[in-house]
Structure 1
């Protein structure tokens, strides 16, 4: 990576600024919105593109690869680059999971297990290499590679697990969203009141926000006969994209979610 002015790497090759945002309320709002956009965009592309799930998956994966190249070439967190990458990861993760279950006939139990194991493998290799899974230290190419691998795994896992829960429990979109919101709230309580470790609290919540956002998106976009509000995928996606754009512009201007790695202040990472 080529550092920007005033942001040279230290002796260990680490950049002064982290490549991911600080975890604030803005982070979680945009993340859920990106998840909803990913769900509606995947459904819309599958219906309108005429390429089939596999073709759309390949196309969006190629677009994601381009955006990630731009993300890796930046020397610090940039909202206008980072969040489009998250949105595309959401689309790709959804399409991969749907392709496995709908086209290849892979049971949701199997895909959920496989994606969970994949995420565990990413975490194990990441920790063995870096001795930490903290997102506050995404300041090298290696750490960023592990981070995005984990993010993609969480979206695929969240899609498969969310579909599995919705099929087995059959609560409907609205009650499913409430269920996942309650579980996320329980994780937050466990973290703040019972000292659940911050890294695991984050990643558990990150996985769960995927089915939460998907349930919200389906509730808004699906026909009333199926338990939705009949807004349609286009209106729902456009509405959420507008909110995401507004928040990204706000954060780009205010830099309220810029995180500085601890070693930049004299601490070890």
Structure 2
């Protein structure tokens, strides 16, 4: 009997390389978002509008694509993290909701999105993202999680007093714990994936702030444009030398 080929999704296989690029992309979202809203003096609202247009265009292209295409996928991820950066900053600072209030609201939105996705399709696993309906839920959940991660990063580094290096160590440690739980326990891999996905965003946020914030605020005072370009080059180089495969679809 001829073996039937495995069907694949339009999202990448979750490997160590996936998480490396994800952290780099979320860091780029922080420096890129700040470059538009702060360095260009466009403000959080206009910055959010600009990145929202890019996000919608990227998601539309991703959903319409016939197969996995790594550059398009990561462009969409970067779009979610940049709009998440400016949106979280607008809510926390311009609207005065504050980091705690913003984080609470966004956590609720992530949970509602996951619940609606689960009730509609029966699963929130990445391996089931093989239909337009599942893809829409996937990207909405990611957008909310990226925005939540931005608020969590700012809250931890600023309000909680951890500073950029302390917050990076905290979120890095939590991700290490999740990795241990993944390999050494029977806890749901889907639950651990979404926890890790959310936590990589505040890690990227505090690393991005560490790179471009003034020295007297605990940063390195690098140009946001220079830091963003370096991150873009790193992501492109990684994808060039380490080809990513699409995740196998669940049956």
Task: Find the aligned partners of 2:246 and 2:178 in 1 and give their Cα distance.
Answer: 24
- Quote how far apart the aligned CAs of 1:230 are: 2.5
Gaps of 5+ in 2: 1-5
Gaps of 5+ in 1: 1-14, 263-267
Aligned residues of 2:157 and 2:166 also touching (Cα < 8 A): no
Task: Find the aligned partners of 1:145 and 1:136 in 2 and give their Cα distance.
Answer: 14
Task: Find the aligned partners of 1:55 and 1:65 in 2 and give their Cα distance.
Answer: 15
- Quote how far apart the aligned CAs of 1:226 are: 1.8
Aligned residues of 1:24 and 1:257 also touching (Cα < 8 A): no
Q: Does residue 40 in structure 1 map to residue 31 in structure 2?
A: yes
- Quote how far apart the aligned CAs of 1:194 are: 2.3
Task: Find the aligned partners of 1:93 and 1:220 in 2 and give their Cα distance.
Answer: 19
Task: Find the aligned partners of 2:83 and 2:159 in 1 and give their Cα distance.
Answer: 24
Q: 1:177 aligns with which of 155, 163, 168?
A: 168
Task: Find the aligned partners of 1:169 and 1:240 in 2 and give their Cα distance.
Answer: 28
TM-score after normalising by structure 1? 0.87
- Quote how far apart the aligned CAs of 1:250 are: 3.3
Output aligned runs, 1:112-151, within 5 Å.
Answer: 112-151=103-142
Task: Find the aligned partners of 2:38 and 2:50 in 1 and give their Cα distance.
Answer: 14
1:66 alignment partner in structure 2 = 57
2:237 alignment partner in structure 1 = 246
Bigger-Rg structure (1/2): 1
1:216 alignment partner in structure 2 = 207
Task: Find the aligned partners of 1:191 and 1:29 in 2 and give their Cα distance.
Answer: 17
Task: Find the aligned partners of 1:49 and 1:222 in 2 and give their Cα distance.
Answer: 15
Task: Find the aligned partners of 2:121 and 2:63 in 1 and give their Cα distance.
Answer: 18
Aligned residues of 1:38 and 1:91 also touching (Cα < 8 A): yes
Task: Find the aligned partners of 2:192 and 2:121 in 1 and give their Cα distance.
Answer: 19
Task: Find the aligned partners of 2:204 and 2:33 in 1 and give their Cα distance.
Answer: 13
Matched residues, number: 246
Aligned residues of 2:99 and 2:155 also touching (Cα < 8 A): yes
1:19 alignment partner in structure 2 = 10
Aligned residues of 1:32 and 1:210 also touching (Cα < 8 A): yes
Aligned residues of 1:23 and 1:257 also touching (Cα < 8 A): no
TM-score after normalising by structure 2? 0.93
2:191 alignment partner in structure 1 = 200
Residue aligned with 1:19, SS: strand
Task: Find the aligned partners of 1:16 and 1:195 in 2 and give their Cα distance.
Answer: 26
Q: Deviations over 1:9-35 (max 9, x none)?
A: xxxxxx932010000111101110011
